[in-house]
Amino acid sequence: MKQQESKFQDAVDWYISGFAAFEENLNGGSQLPFHKLRKKAVKKLSENGFPGPRDEEWKYTSVAPILGQAFGLPDAPATESSLEIAPLTFEDADRNLLVFVNGSFSKGLSRLTSQAEGVVVCTLSEALQNHADLVNASLGLFTDIGTGGFTALNTAFAAEGTFIHVPDNVELTDVIHIVHIAEPAKPFVVHPRNLFVFGDNTRASLIETFHGQGPGSYFTNLVSEFIVGDNARVDHLKIQQESTEAFHVSNVNVQQKRDSVFSAVNVDLGGALVRNDVNVELAAEHCETHLFGFYLGSGKQHIDNHTFVDHAMAHCFSNELYKGILDGQSKGVFNGKILVRQDAQKTNALQSNKTLLLTDDASINAKPQLEIFADDVKCTHGATIGQLDDEALFYLRARGISEEMAGAMLRHAFISDVLEGIKLDAVRQNLDAQIIERFTDVKSDS
Amino acid sequence: MLKIKNLEVAVEGNQILRGLNLEVNAGEVHAIMGPNGGGKSTLANVLAGREEYEVLAGSVEYNGVDLMELGPEERAHAGIFLAFQYPVEIPGVSMSNFLKTALNQTRGARGQEALDAMEFFSLIREKLKVVNMDEKFLSRAINQGFSGGEKKRNEIFQMAVLEPKLAILDETDSGLDIDALKVVSNGVNTLRSKDNATVVVTHYQRLLNYIVPDFVHVLVDGQIVKSGDKSLALQLEDQGYDWVKDELAEPAAA
Amino acid sequence: MSTEQETIEQFTNTEYKWGFTTDLETDLAPKGLTEDTVRFISAKKKEPEFLLEWRLKAFRHWQQMQEPDWPNVNYPPIDFQDAYYYAAPKKQEQLKSLDEVDPQIRETFDKLGISLDEQKRLSGVAVDAVMDSVSVATTFRDELKKHGIIFCSFSEAVHDHPDLVKKYLGSVVPYTDNFYSALNSAVFSDGSFCFIPKGVRCPMELSTYFRINAANTGQFERTLIVAEEGASVSYLEGCTAPMRDENQLHAAVVEIVAHKDARVKYSTVQNWYPGDENGKGGIYNFVTKRGICLGDNAKISWTQVETGSAITWKYPSVVLKGDNSVGEFYSVALTNNYQQADTGTKMVHLGKNTRSTIISKGISAGRSNNSYRGLVRVARNASGARNFSQCDSLLIGDRCGAHTFPYLEIHNKGARVEHEATTTKIGEDQIFYCNQRGIDTENAIGLIVNGYCKEVFRELPMEFAVEAQKLLEISLEGSVG
């Protein structure tokens, strides 16, 4: 095989050269079984490097800006943070908080209520020590590091994150909110690694938010794994509000078992260069998946959402709706792939992607993709790209609403059906308010 | 013409017909009435040969042959016509192409010559009059974008073209206003003759004011529990179906 | 005898040198591909220096290129050195009438359903039949000449209109474009050339029948259509091939140039040998087709019905450069048994208020794989651009695959782009409805499939539409259990 021209050898070398020091700092962590997977990931990274523009899945997103900077791991945190956590939390969703500052768990800012018998909610580092069997049974099972790249990089350096284990027949009453805060005194990379295991007949709701505080460049390289048991119901809301100089790459992998329902809402508001991958495997019959997302791009933001819905078994339903509003010189990418395998008869898969372009400098590359190998299925996808409806705008203005407000109202209306996917009222209202503020604040330069 | 004996039918594992008996002779019009879920549409569909309907027991003899042995198109060729309750839409296939194929395959199966385009269209024009339909309708795709009334008229129009021996009208009156009902009934009455028979499946007595039946049967819980002449329909209209059920329950209790 | 028939006979008699036989004592270039092969072809065709140079540049470029691996198709590696790159029918003395045409050829044409006799009766259709890469029949040329229309084989155009060829060849599909277009540019054998001068509406449908005939001969057709300002033409291309056991490579290039206010409609029915029911044999069809709307208000429309070939790799495209120009793509692609098709279009919007429509209907049966791959690109300055795409897939059986890969690259806020795709199977209730009216299942499927493709068929010229419907039915035979 000829070597791929763009594996970003310098960046690969840079990260691998830091692995020995990382290993030493693990304080015995290198003796744990998980470390074998880290070493395998290092090998894959050195073999395959990072994806280049000729890689179909990265055709529209160049990772050169991320790899052009020599990000190191952040310094160990100074005792306790003086951060005010309250503004970052949501009413009705603040009883279980796990707060990570620059990748390290902040005990002082976090709070956890007592959980039902057998439920584990803790950091990954603690879980690797105290719940090794539970972790080792599942960690890395559904994340593909074979092609190298960012998932391999995360796996190699994964040391911290959140571990949740909910045993069969337990319904979590309270929402669990995981807060990631970045305060970049100097550029750094963090590799949060989450493992969420939900047993049969369980119910849980997770919120994960990412906040950038203050200026400065950093890189969040997240990998999350969800195992959703038989008849389990899991909601996941991810809100990305990194700072305008930040890079955010996330890889969320979900495996659903029989009769389970997984609902995700992915919101992108921040970040200079953002790439999200959500991969859902409907691995048994009668699964239901809801993937919602919206992204607001402005300035020179580049926001790339890739979703992959893998219908492996029959009688499943998936519904996907992603919407984007792109202002300024921002660039959006949407790639939605639906695979219906041969055994997945009676699949019903819907996908819709809609984008508003507000300026001539904004652009969108969309690739909704269907790959169907079963004949008794109903699959549709649609993609539209357009502008605010001039007639609606005129109508509102004719009723005395300012052009700016009318535009804000229409933009808000455009994403409202995605917002409806957020089931927690307080969270939705909070986000709603933020968005309206942003729409009335940011003027389009048209 | 049609002899149904002790017919038991299940759909997706649920038994719907539980020992139904019915005999229809040439020249007769039978009305099958009954509450929803009683098995009326099941009877219509199983006679037309829909595959999802599983015959558990009993027999259906049609002009001396075992009807259940025939595929749906063979039944059509033998003269059985079902006017569907919910006619399906088939995008892109024009009515004229569809009818020409249907007619000529049926003629072929009966050992008749296929009609050429001229003969076909003169036949079609004549039959369109039966249901007051415009010729433009022939270039439209099957049932696509048709109103409810148009769909039902289309069914009767097809019946006129195919000239069946046994026509089964499955809730053909549901969703029709009175004018459309008259058109449809008129169509059916025009086609009535001593050689063919009609089975009208309906929930309402209204239709029977226009298509006057020789016999009325009440189908409840998968069986015909009462038969009579057209006055039975009026009685049902007046008093509902409960009294029939009560009447059934009484002797059992006694 | 009508004057039209006389015209045909006259031209087939006088203009053309009939006489190769289907036993095919073809004049083959030596096997393999080197610079010498390219020189051999060029010399054989007595080409001017500029063309040889162009071919050599293309060849050298091709040597640097790699075969593309991105299409969603699989096939064993092609040994490009294990093929013949030139086969010409031997020329014999002139024939006095059609009756003198080798009966075997007549028979072959009859089998293909396009016998010359039948063609003669098709009024208003000029026929340029290509057999084994060299044109063997051209008709109606007189009539066309009166309008100043040039319609001839590519080789003739090279000799008679070298300036036009030099000006337009490679102007839409440069030899650097892709692996197969480079290969074609180096070794193309013949094809058609069509030039419609300013303001002329071509009075008849132009038609060429291609056919692959000699074993192991890659076919490299080259077609160039130029419509000057205000000109319009409808061009038909139909292909069939006889049974053959080895895989055959076909890498054609079609270029269309539409100047201001010009209209070009290009229709194809492709029915090459798809291989047998076990996937043995069949044609490899790697085609580059592209048109450019150079001037304002120009329109290029592609319609294709693809039922043949073991592998199809083909994306008829339109570059919408002129303001208000229009591009259309209507496609039916049917795959059965082990066929693989990766086909679609590219609509590249450069000018203002440009519009494009894409209607793609894929039908997969057997163990085949059918992919739609399309690109809609709206460039930064293409304000007011509009695109509507509809890509539907129909699956028959559960061993086949249907894939949709639409790429939407939108860089202008004034653009409106809509893409819709559905995948369905034929509804059991639809089949039952037909059954109930006395139509058997095979015919019911034929009806439903033809209905499903109607939006595309109605874009085809009448006689093609009928042929296309027949083709679908034949191609689906035995696919329904």
Q: What confidence tens digit (pLDDT) does each residue in A316-373 have? A: 999 999 999 999 999 999 999 999 998 898 899 999 999 999 998 999 999 988 898 8
C447 touches chain B (CB under 8 A): yes
Please compute the mean of the pLDDT values over residues A30-45 and round it to a whole number. Answer: 89
Q: What confidence tens digit (pLDDT) does each residue in A122-173 have? A: 999 999 989 999 999 899 888 888 887 999 999 999 989 999 999 999 999 8
Q: What confidence tens digit (pLDDT) does each residue in B136-156 have? A: 888 888 888 888 888 888 999
Please, which residues bridge with residue C223 across strands? C254
Question: Could you identify the residue written with the tokens 């305060």?
Answer: A183
List all residues 6 or more positions away from A440 whose beta carbon is below 8 Å from its beta carbon: A404, A405, A408
* A392 falls within a domain: no
* pLDDT for A303: 97
The pLDDT mean for chain A works out to 89
Question: What's the Rg (C-alpha) of chain C?
Answer: 22
The pLDDT mean for chain B works out to 87
Task: Determine, for residues B72 and C436 on separate chains, whether the beta-carbon distance falls below 8 Å.
Answer: yes
Q: Residue B95 — very low, low, confident or very high, per pLDDT cuts 50/70/90?
A: confident
* pLDDT for C18: 26
Instruction: From chain C, pick out residues whose CB is under 8 angstroms from the CB of B102.
Output: 434, 437-439
Q: How far is B241 from chain C (nearest CA, A)?
A: 31
What are the b/e assignments for C198-211, b being 16+ CB within 10 Å?
A: eebebebbbbbbbb
C429 touches chain B (CB under 8 A): yes
The pLDDT of residue A287 is above 90? yes
Instruction: From chain C, pick out residues whose CB is under 8 angstroms from the CB of A355.
Output: 410
* Of B82, B99, B105, Cβ closest to residue C436: B82
**C155 contacts C190 by C-beta, under 8 angstroms:** yes
Please compute the mean of the pLDDT values over residues C197-204 and round it to a whole number. Answer: 91
The C-alpha atoms of residue B176 and residue B152 are separated, in whole angstroms, by 8
For A436, the 3-state DSSP assignment is: helix
Domain limits at A18?
9-79+121-168+180-387
* pLDDT for C87: 66
* pLDDT for A87: 87
- Choose between A237 and A82: higher pLDDT: A237
pLDDT cut 70: percent of chain B above it: 98
* Of C438, C447, C454, Cβ closest to residue B73: C438
Q: How many CB atoms lie within 10 A of CB C40?
A: 16
Chains A and B touch (3+ CB pairs under 8 A): no
* pLDDT for A444: 43
| Lowest-confidence segment of A232-246, C106-120, C249-263, C401-415 by average pLDDT | C106-120
The pLDDT of residue A398 is above 80? no
Minimum CA–CA partner of C378 in chain A = A363
Q: What confidence tens digit (pLDDT) does each residue in C40-54 have? A: 888 888 899 999 999
Please compute the mean of the pLDDT values over residues A22-46 and round it to a whole number. Answer: 87
* Of C45, C33, C37, C9, nearest in space to C81 by CA: C33
DSSP for A196-213 reads: EEE-TT-EEEEEEEEEE-
* A414 falls within a domain: no
C76 touches chain B (CB under 8 A): no
Instruction: From chain C, pick out residues whose CB is under 8 angstroms from the CB of B105.
Output: 438-440, 443
Q: What confidence tens digit (pLDDT) does each residue in B159-202 have? A: 999 899 999 999 888 777 888 888 888 888 988 899 999 999 98
The pLDDT of residue C285 is above 50? yes
* pLDDT for C20: 26
Minimum CA–CA partner of B99 in chain C = C437
* pLDDT for C141: 67
Instruction: Establish, for the pair of chains A and C, how many residue pairs have beta carbons separated by less than 8 Å.
Output: 121
Task: Determine, for residues C417 and A384 on separate chains, whether the beta-carbon distance falls below 8 Å.
Answer: yes
* A114 falls within a domain: no
Task: Determine, for residues C452 and B92 on separate chains, whether the beta-carbon distance falls below 8 Å.
Answer: yes
- E strands, A283-419, where? 288-297, 302-311, 317-326, 331-340, 348-357, 363-372, 378-386
Instruction: From chain B, pick out residues whose CB is under 8 angstroms from the CB of C447.
Output: 90, 93, 97-98, 101
* pLDDT for C478: 65
The C-alpha atoms of residue C362 and residue C334 are separated, in whole angstroms, by 6
Please, which residues bridge with residue C254 across strands? C223, C289
The pLDDT of residue C177 is above 80? yes
Task: Determine, for residues B103 and C450 on separate chains, whether the beta-carbon distance falls below 8 Å.
Answer: no
* Of A360, A365, A369, Cβ closest to residue C412: A360
| Lowest-confidence segment of A359-368, C392-401, C467-476 by average pLDDT | C467-476
**C294 contacts C327 by C-beta, under 8 angstroms:** no
Q: Residue A110 — very low, low, confident or very high, per pLDDT cuts 50/70/90?
A: very high
Q: Residue C73 — very low, low, confident or very high, per pLDDT cuts 50/70/90?
A: confident
* A258 falls within a domain: yes
Instruction: From chain C, pick out residues whose CB is under 8 angstroms from the CB of B90.
Output: 430, 433-434, 447-448, 451
* A112 falls within a domain: no
The pLDDT of residue A271 is above 90? yes
Question: Could you identify the residue written with the tokens 């073809």?
Answer: C26
Global ipTM: 0.81
Structural domains of chain A, count = 1
* pLDDT for B184: 84
Instruction: From chain C, pick out residues whose CB is under 8 angstroms from the CB of B142.
Output: 433, 451
The C-alpha atoms of residue C193 and residue C152 are separated, in whole angstroms, by 5
Q: How many CB atoms lie within 10 A of CB C268?
A: 25
The C-alpha atoms of residue A343 and residue C123 are separated, in whole angstroms, by 52
Interhelix angle for C35-44 vs C49-64, to 10°? Answer: 150
Please compute the mean of the pLDDT values over residues A251-260 and round it to a whole number. Answer: 95
The pLDDT of residue A195 is above 80? yes
* A284 falls within a domain: yes
Please compute the mean of the pLDDT values over residues A431-436 and round it to a whole number. Answer: 87
The pLDDT of residue C104 is above 80? no
Please, which residues bridge with residue C139 across strands? none
Task: Determine, for residues C437 and B158 on separate chains, whether the beta-carbon distance falls below 8 Å.
Answer: yes
Task: Determine, for residues A375 and C396 on separate chains, whether the beta-carbon distance falls below 8 Å.
Answer: yes
Task: Determine, for residues C452 and B103 on separate chains, whether the beta-carbon distance falls below 8 Å.
Answer: no
* A314 falls within a domain: yes
Question: Tokens standing for C66?
Answer: 């790699």
* A150 falls within a domain: yes
**Mutating which of B98, B127, B169 best tests the C interface, going by the most C Cβ atoms within 10 A?**
B98
Q: How far is A444 from chain C (nearest CA, A)?
A: 12
C124 touches chain B (CB under 8 A): no
pTM of the model: 0.78
A366 touches chain C (CB under 8 A): yes
The pLDDT of residue C445 is above 80? yes
Instruction: From chain C, pick out residues whose CB is under 8 angstroms from the CB of A382.
Output: 418-421
- Choose between C14 and C333: higher pLDDT: C333
Distance of CA A322 to the CA centre of its chain: 13
